[in-house]
Structure 1
């Protein structure tokens, strides 16, 4: 996947740990870290979830949004919404988690297909303009991820324009 392309919107069947559904479009202006995981994935439990929690604790919510994406491509029968809710409670996951929309044609969920993810854990880093800048599969070093996020935060925020029928002004 081209690392400078516009990030596809998440295709979600349900959101957990948030009052309202979220979208990447609504998060423009922030760096977005999306951690794709499965609750029965050993690497997700030992590294992915702890790293996502650390990102959430380290960076200001004004600069960085952390989202989980539960993307099930195996063991579908046991990784349902109720089991995920219990998992999030037990592991004290405090950031919003989306449940990837299942595919009607195969085992790979729709967002996982759209991002061409190879498995879990996977970390997607999306810049303030909504472009996919990094896609990590497997264990990504904490310091390297922190440096990447810091670099994205340091980039200028996109300017927004307020337009009327007569003119557009930068806000």
Structure 2
């Protein structure tokens, strides 16, 4: 599921943010979406520590880090109070949304929309709103860092301040002019 426009999140409650977050509102920024469960051993031992390393390395960039707590098992144990305590204990300060339950399935809606196979999972979304990479499990830090660096280096062109070629200078037929 890469190279296609990103589906929107379906979130029932947000933590660590005063306002709900939409991927549409984040367009123009690369987004690292990490899906986890508080009772997932791989999330606790590998994905959450990696999240902290990402925040340290990319915290001063325009990378948006957004968590999605997607519960597809142990539903009764995963109350908002439990998640709030988990976020506090594991020092997760980035925005985290609770994946909206599906009344027809144990698999929450965002998990379905992104075709996530389980937790931990991550989705890297480019500035253009398209999925660059999707991973089930934890990707090697160096590989993930390189992917994020490439996503950060992509710039969305600003067409609002475009000038004509003659005004901006340029080259045509082997002749270049300065602006």
- TM-score with structure 2 length normalisation? 0.86
Show the counterpart of 2:26: 27
Q: Provide the rounded CA distance (Å) in 1 between the counterparts of 2:60 and 2:17.
A: 14
**SS of structure 2 residue aligned to 1:25:** coil
Q: 1:14 to 1:61 in 2, by over 3 A?
A: farther
Shift of 1:159: 3.0
Q: Provide the rounded CA distance (Å) in 2 between the counterparts of 1:43 and 1:37.
A: 9
Q: 1:120 to 1:143 in 2, by over 3 A?
A: same
Show the counterpart of 1:46: 45
Q: Provide the rounded CA distance (Å) in 2 between the counterparts of 1:48 and 1:75.
A: 19
CA contact (8 A) 1:34 1:68 kept: yes
- Greater radius of gyration (CA): 2
Q: Deviations over 1:35-74 (max 9, x none)?
A: 0000000000011111122212211454201011000000
Tell me which moved more, 126-135 or 55-64: 55-64
Q: Provide the rounded CA distance (Å) in 1 between the counterparts of 2:33 and 2:11.
A: 13
CA contact (8 A) 1:31 1:126 kept: yes
Q: Provide the rounded CA distance (Å) in 1 between the counterparts of 2:64 and 2:153.
A: 15
Show the counterpart of 1:165: none
**SS of structure 2 residue aligned to 1:26:** coil
Shift of 1:6: 0.6
CA contact (8 A) 1:56 1:65 kept: no
Shift of 1:117: 0.3
Show the counterpart of 1:131: 130
User: 1:1-171 residue pairs with structure 2 within 5 A?
Assistant: 1=1, 3-159=2-158, 161=160
> How well do the aligned residues superpose, as a CA RMSD in angstroms?
1.3
- TM-score with structure 1 length normalisation? 0.90
Q: Give the unaligned 5+ runs of structure 1.
A: 162-168
Tell me which moved more, 142-151 or 47-56: 47-56
Aligned length: 162
Q: Provide the rounded CA distance (Å) in 2 between the counterparts of 1:104 and 1:131.
A: 28
Q: Provide the rounded CA distance (Å) in 1 between the counterparts of 2:48 and 2:156.
A: 28
**SS of structure 2 residue aligned to 1:55:** helix
CA contact (8 A) 1:30 1:128 kept: yes
CA contact (8 A) 1:35 1:69 kept: yes
Show the counterpart of 2:174: none
